[in-house]
Amino acid sequence: MAIAVPQTTELDISQTIDWLKQKYPDAVHDDTRQGFGGVVVDKSMLVEVAQAIRDDLGFDYLSSATAVDYLGISDHMEMVYHAYRTTGGPALVFKAQTDREKAEIPSLVDVWLGADFQEREAYDLYGIQFSGHPNLKRILLWDGFNGYPMRKDWQEAYFEQEHKPFDSRWPGGWVHRAEEKNVYGKNVRYPDDIDLARLSDTSEATLYSGLGLGVDVQELESDGLQTDRLVVNLGPHHPSTHGVFRMIVSLNGETIETLEPVMGYLHRNHEKIGERNSFLHNIPFTDRLDYLSSMGNNFGYVLAVEQLLAQGARYQPPTYRAEVIRVLMAELTRIVNHLWSLGFLLNDLGAFFTPMLYANNEREKILDFFEATAGSRLMCNYMRFGGVFADLPERIHSVANLVNDKVRDYNTMEYLAQMITERLPRFLEEYGRLLVGNEILRERTINVGVLPHDLAIALSTCGPLLRGSGVAYDVRRADPYSIYPELDFDIPVGVNGDIYDRFMVRFQEIHESLRILKQLLPRLEQTKGEEVVTKVGHTPRVPVGEAYGRVENPKGELGFYVVSEGDEKGPQNPWRYHVRAPSFINLTALGPMCRGYKVADVVTVLGSIDIVLGETDR
């Protein structure tokens, strides 16, 4: 008997789950754990069920694939997948579980290409083998790294305790550095089968051989090789790579045949740190991810934790004024990011620093406001569970620290109104007049770095990279949060999916952010005097369960998957803290976008993705 497929696209997740359970009664069942949702899929049927989720149910966009280690709770590992429809609506959450001792789960790369880097990350940090993955190797750590650091039983050389605050720092305050208690030279661990006396790093040869170049790298180093094919390294220490990032490019003449992104030079295991911090202590760590978008990072994380807090009896949601201020900060952050991105894309094209400095001059005015409100210009630790840290100040005021310092003293609302209604629109008009029709810009970007519509979705790209390919998918509209449903704005999209379209999408998004900000000004006046933070507490008791909070950050969807074990006896720490980083996942598209173009185009294609390595590597 045929099972009817649910046709509606609005809030039909329960119908969707019922359909899956009827179609696969032996393979799909509800996740009945307290505070958890979605379904658990038998891993032997995972690929078939995933294909049905994509093809029959229309969940064409795999947003997040997260590994979790439940050692000490149920002693298994699992992968948690969040799939969405690009037409909009909430997530379908499905999970696959595996034994820790022989951790293996089928790869979903053949279903959603966007699972590629995310599965490699889970393999790298958790040791889960993904059968069928076309290129399963470490992605953030070097090949000789010992162990899988996100597992619950892994301890680093300078390990002190599982959770912060450490006893060495609190409550007595007798602080010492762990390095002082560890003999020099014992801070690195190698696998047991490595003989340090004969250590030979083969990771480079392994990396090249995995590219399928058809070139013997050892032969490339010989003097007598005569070939038109070359393997070229761009980075990691090169201005054009926007940070410590490397691209291995194989060239036939000047034409790119393959490109492999190599990251991890900045990896500091942000998520491991996050699981040792308390929930509250993680807020300033989110600032350091995409350090150009710290307010948006704060926003995504507090939304995730507030989903968990909302399951408790005492939770009070943020006030309306707090939501208005959050959106104000998020949209100003979008402008800050895009001004920087547009300026440096033009710098990559050869317009050496002039367009960037013009854009940065306007960006600084927004940072003045951030500094007056949050106390910092770049990495703002401002949002809190239940609201924001403090209300907007009456005045933007500074003091002179050095001779000839300019002292700022403005009425905050007048300053905002002038910036939003006069200064930024005037700047955008001039910037657009000078650049949008510029013949050099158009020659270097139109029909270059093309990412087709369907491939952009399949690769799980997000933000301007996805919308530049004509996909009108924006979390603020597709799965709204905060007060975005009541605001009037459009979603700019491109047509060709090339560099120029991505440039124009960001340019138009600044206009749309200004449109939103103009709607917020009267709301700020109307809510003056209202509280901006509810009484959640400094160390809130977070109920047991899982949550996925996501926001439309300037670079795309930023998501936080958080699991709480609900410990009632002591300080609360996340059991799992995972960051769905848009810079990281968007790099999946870099190779396909560069193939067939010239080596001179690589820098521009990378610049059009707009990455920050603090978020990419975490």
Identify the weakest region by mean pLDDT among 132-146, 321-335, 397-411, 549-563. Answer: 397-411
Long-range contacts at 596-602 (CB < 8 A, ≥ 24 apart):
596/255, 596/256, 597/255, 597/256, 597/448, 597/449, 598/254, 598/255, 598/256, 599/232, 599/249, 599/251, 599/254, 599/256, 600/254, 601/256, 601/444, 601/448, 601/449, 602/234, 602/247, 602/249, 602/256, 602/259
Cα(509)–Cα(489) distance, integer angstroms: 10
Identify the weakest region by mean pLDDT among 133-137, 175-179, 230-234, 285-289. Answer: 175-179
Identify the weakest region by mean pLDDT among 516-525, 559-568, 588-597. Answer: 559-568
- The alpha carbons of the chain give a radius of gyration, in whole angstroms, of 25
| 98 domain residue, yes or no | yes
pLDDT of residue 46: 92
| 155 domain residue, yes or no | no
- Residue 510's nearest CA partner among 583, 432, 609 is 432
Cα(283)–Cα(294) distance, integer angstroms: 10
pLDDT digits (tens, 9 = 90+) for 82-121: 999 999 889 999 999 999 888 999 999 999 998 999 999 9
Contact at 8 Å (CB) between 158 and 204?
no
Does the pLDDT value for residue 406 go beyond 80? no
Cα(205)–Cα(536) distance, integer angstroms: 53
Structure tokens given for 473 = 């998918």
Out of 90, 114, 131, pick the residue that ends a domain: 131
| 59 domain residue, yes or no | yes
201 Cα distance to chain centroid: 31
Contact at 8 Å (CB) between 57 and 94?
no
Work out the average pLDDT over 526-555: 84
pLDDT of residue 171: 66
Work out the average pLDDT over 284-309: 89
Contact at 8 Å (CB) between 509 and 492?
yes
pLDDT of residue 222: 46
| 162 domain residue, yes or no | no
- The pLDDT mean for the chain works out to 84
Question: How many other C-beta atoms are found inside a 10 Å radius of the C-beta of residue 366?
Answer: 20
Question: How many other C-beta atoms are found inside a 10 Å radius of the C-beta of residue 269?
Answer: 16
Out of 88, 116, 131, pick the residue that ends a domain: 131
pLDDT digits (tens, 9 = 90+) for 245-254: 888 888 888 8
- The distance in angstroms from the start CA to the end CA of the chain is 49
More confident residue, 321 or 214: 321
| 414 domain residue, yes or no | yes
| 136 domain residue, yes or no | no
Out of 131, 149, 172, pick the residue that ends a domain: 131
The domain spanning residue 497 has which CATH number?
Answer: 1.10.645.10
The domain spanning residue 22 has which CATH number?
Answer: 3.30.460.80
pLDDT of residue 207: 63
Structure tokens given for 162 = 């599982």
| Judgement on whether residues 127 and 275 belong to the same structural domain of the protein | no
Contact at 8 Å (CB) between 505 and 526?
no
Give the residue numbers spanning the domain of 326. Answer: 270-617
In degrees, to the nearest 5, what angle opens at C-alpha 524 toward C-alphas 523 and 527? 80
Give the count of domains, the chain.
Answer: 2
Structure tokens given for 487 = 């605001």
pLDDT digits (tens, 9 = 90+) for 248-276: 888 888 888 888 888 888 888 899 988 88
Q: How many residues in the chain?
A: 618
Work out the average pLDDT over 338-355: 82
pLDDT of residue 468: 92
- Of 292-296, 436-440, 485-489, 566-570, highest mean pLDDT: 485-489
| 199 domain residue, yes or no | no
| 157 domain residue, yes or no | no
Cα(117)–Cα(135) distance, integer angstroms: 9
